[in-house]
Amino acid sequence: MKTIGTTLLCALTALALVGSPALAAKKKAPSVSCKQIKDAMTAGKTAEEVEKDLNVSASRVKSCTTPSTKHHKSTHKAS
């Protein structure tokens, strides 16, 4: 009886490890550069068309096409 229990435990452990989502093979999403997105938008495509054609999310398109606020000039005057 003990060997059946041990065998069953080993089988369940192996099944849990094989079926684990952490070990599942994941496809790496194809990387699309902002330049590719901007070029598609410049060519006259809408944001929705770019999302569909390049298989990117709406937030990715928005982050690539929205002007960056990092480089704005300061409006403070020296006293």
**Per residue in 7-19, pLDDT tens?**
756 565 665 656 6
Separation of alpha carbons 74 and 44, rounded Å:
34
Domain boundaries, the chain: 29-67
pLDDT tens readout for residues 30-73: 689 999 999 999 999 999 999 999 999 999 999 999 987 665 55
* pTM for the whole structure: 0.50
Long-range contacts of 50-57 (CB under 8 A, 24+ apart): 55/29, 55/30, 56/32
37 contacts 64 by C-beta, under 8 angstroms: yes
Separation of alpha carbons 33 and 64, rounded Å:
9
Any residues with CB less than 8 A from the CB of 65 and at least 6 apart, and which?
A: 37, 38, 41, 47
